[in-house]
Amino acid sequence: MTNDLEAWPRLFSEYASVEVLEREGDTVRFRLTMHPDENGAVWSWVSERTMDREALTVRARRVETGPFAYMNIVWTYRPTEGGVVMRWVQDFAMKPTAPVSTAQMAERINRNSPVQMGLIKSTVEAAARVGSVRP
């Protein structure tokens, strides 16, 4: 379910829309748009994700970096007896001209990630209970 990009606005509370721009094999380039922030600003950027089905990983990166010098994310999926453990690790740095420092952005991400992970977990588990999770 986490690799169904079009479903991300239902999995994540922060995303308003996802527009798939290009698919080539297991690589997807897409535009992600957030809901307006507390100041009414709408943030949007292009990212790219490549799935490695055998390794049960996804590598992602921002193509349009905006205030980030770079942003790379690795998602890993580990089957367990009770389901799957999903983990993501974000590696990034902010540009010197960004409105927040790398440390400030790390604090924001570390505060928001557990919220988003909790939403994903509850959505996936609810779908599993009714048998609508696809392999």
From the candidate CATH numbers 3.40.50.970, 3.30.530.20, 3.40.1180.10, 3.40.1000.10, the one assigned to the domain spanning 5-129 = 3.30.530.20
Query: So what's the pLDDT on residue 36?
Result: 93
Domain boundaries, the chain: 5-129
Looking at residue 135, what is its pLDDT? 43
97: how many CB neighbours lie within 10 A of its CB? 7
Q: Which two tokens stand for residue 83?
A: 């389901």
User: For position 134, what pLDDT does the model report?
Assistant: 53
Instruction: Give the pLDDT means over successive 10-residue stretches in the chain (135 positions).
Output: 92 95 97 91 95 97 96 96 92 96 96 94 89 60
